Amino acid sequence: MIQTLEAQKLVPNANDFENIFMPGLAIDAVIFGFDANQLKILLLKYENTNLYALPGGFIKKNESLNNAAKRMLLERTGLENIYLEQFYTFGDIERHDPEPLKTILKGKGYVALSDHWLFERFLTVGYYALIDYSKAVPIPDFLADKCEWHDLKKLPTLMLDHTQIVNKALQTLRANIDDQLIGFNLMPETFTMNDLQRLYETVLGKKFLRTSFQRKILNLEILQQNDRKFTGAANKAPYLYKFIRNGK
């Protein structure tokens, strides 16, 4: 039996929305993780629709924009104190299309009235987040059936303008890779120089000479050298490094 969202109270109805959330404003997040030399992002999957989307949410009237983004990320990953950067606001008229959401609701067995607040035009503030892939516990929202990692090079078709949002986030990530200590947020606590080079090469999409990369990174004065990583012959064991939290 198909019921209205208003009857189920699964989300605020039009009247409740005006009292709780900022009208016409949303958040979409590109959540990056790094694993097995692959840069990955979290995507929501909606069953019975073949639709994929970035994790997102709304901003309550009694919370700041950044706090709303932190709350949404906690709900999707189970993690706090995530590196979070606001990078762009998306507001093209063409991005307003209620049909994908109607398809998602139908796939879940619900139907909303045509004038429901979910179908209005929204501007979305884009954030990118950098998290430890091994510590995240992906959690779908109430409309999605899955929240899973996807290789950035093999993304499925995304709804609305979410591909544009991903591309803009990646562009910003690349521009900030040194200044914002990107590696600190994507690497484990200790790592080899080779591990860090593979991260840079994956994010930037290009190869580096080992000696020139090492010189570049050490000149930034953001690493602390630790003991060697013994995996075989002692004379070939690479040094382990960790980021200096108060580095540049």
The pTM (predicted TM-score) of the whole model is 0.85
Q: Identify whether 225 is part of a domain.
A: yes
Asked which of 141, 175, 209 is the last residue of a domain, the reply is: 175
CATH of the domain at 213: 1.10.10.10
Domain end marker among 121, 145, 175: 175
Same domain, residue pair 159 and 214: no
Give the domain-ending residue among 175, 195, 221: 175
191 shares its domain with 160: no
- The phi-psi region of residue 224 (left if phi > 0; otherwise alpha if psi is between -120 and 50; otherwise beta) is beta
Model confidence over 4-35: pLDDT tens digits?
544 444 444 555 666 788 889 999 999 999 98
- 83 phi/psi in degrees, rounded to 5: -70, 125
pLDDT per residue as tens digits for the range 39-65: 999 999 998 888 999 999 999 999 999
223 occurs within a structural domain? yes
* Residue 238 domain boundaries: 186-243
- pLDDT of 225 > 70? The answer is yes
Residue 248 falls within a domain, yes or no?
Answer: no
pLDDT digits 0-9 by tens, 34-45: 988 899 999 999
- Contact partners, residue 159, CB within 8 Å, separation at least 6: 51, 52, 53, 100
Residues 118 and 206 in one domain: no
